[in-house]
Amino acid sequence: MNIKKQSLLIYSLLLSIFVASCGSGQASDIKPAPLTATIIPTETFTPLPTFTPTSTLSPTPSPTPIPAIGDTLRSDNWEISIIEAAYRKNFSIAGTVYTPRPGYMVFDVIVKVNNLNFASNPSTSANNDVVIDAQGKAQLATCWGAHDVVKSQGKDLQELIFIGCQTGNIYTMKIENESYIRFLFTIEDTNLGKTISFKFEDLPAVPFVINKQ
């Protein structure tokens, strides 16, 4: 076989291979690259964190009201109300008129008292019924006297007689029925117009102000 025929034979063979691999209507063995889908993430809702208190707040307690003249105070043993607290220029005992020394003043405190536990607690002591002055100092009464309320009807409460004074020896007052007790106090006149308080036995002190009439 000469060179010309040999070249023609090689050309024919290559042409046959090309037609076999790329002929019209025949699928190619080359596959397209797979598509890569870009997935957009769905927006999700993240709830806010739940607040957990570190301590439990207690309600603010209401302040205890301050008692006043005319209010009724009670304990296991006593029920009282202050009827009045009044300035006196002077006072009398058994017909003798007394005037306070310079620098001092006198005033009455009239209290209505009901004994709630007479069987075990029949009396009140003048040593337990005091005035607390503007400086916080407790002052005992100068004189005192208890009178049955029913028997005192129609009487001037500021003229109820005294049954005991600091110069005597009667300091306890038997309270069997509802009674008025008249206390007379002598304290420094620097307390005029200032808040002072009266305290009876185990009950809270009641504040008031004494002014000249």
What's the mean pLDDT in 166-178? 92
Is residue 110 a contact partner of residue 176, using CB atoms and an 8 Å limit?
no
Is residue 115 a contact partner of residue 200, using CB atoms and an 8 Å limit?
no
Question: What pLDDT score does 97 carry?
Answer: 92
pLDDT digits (tens, 9 = 90+) for 10-33: 555 444 544 444 444 444 444 444
Tokens of 15: 């042409």
Residue 191 CA from chain centroid, whole number: 30
Query: What's the N-to-C CA distance of the chain in angstroms?
Result: 160
pLDDT digits (tens, 9 = 90+) for 63-97: 678 899 999 999 999 999 999 999 999 988 888 99
Phi-psi sector, 175: left (phi>0), alpha (psi -120 to 50), beta? beta
Question: What pLDDT score does 118 carry?
Answer: 93
- Under the banding of pLDDT at 50, 70 and 90, the label for residue 213 is confident
**Number of other CB atoms surrounding residue 108 within 10 Å:** 22
For the entire predicted model, the pTM comes to 0.70
pLDDT digits (tens, 9 = 90+) for 116-137: 999 999 999 999 999 999 999 9
- Taking Cα atoms as reference points, which of 2, 189, 197 lies closest to residue 100? 189
What percentage of the chain exceeds 70 in pLDDT? 70
- Taking Cα atoms as reference points, which of 205, 178, 184 lies closest to residue 79? 178
Is residue 180 a contact partner of residue 49, using CB atoms and an 8 Å limit?
no
Question: What pLDDT score does 52 carry?
Answer: 53
For tokens 């009439």, what's the residue?
Answer: 213
Least confidently predicted of 26-30, 175-179, 192-196: 26-30
Q: Where are the beta strands (DSSP E) in 71-165?
A: 73-74, 78-88, 91-93, 96-98, 104-115, 123-125, 129-132, 138-140, 143-148, 164-165
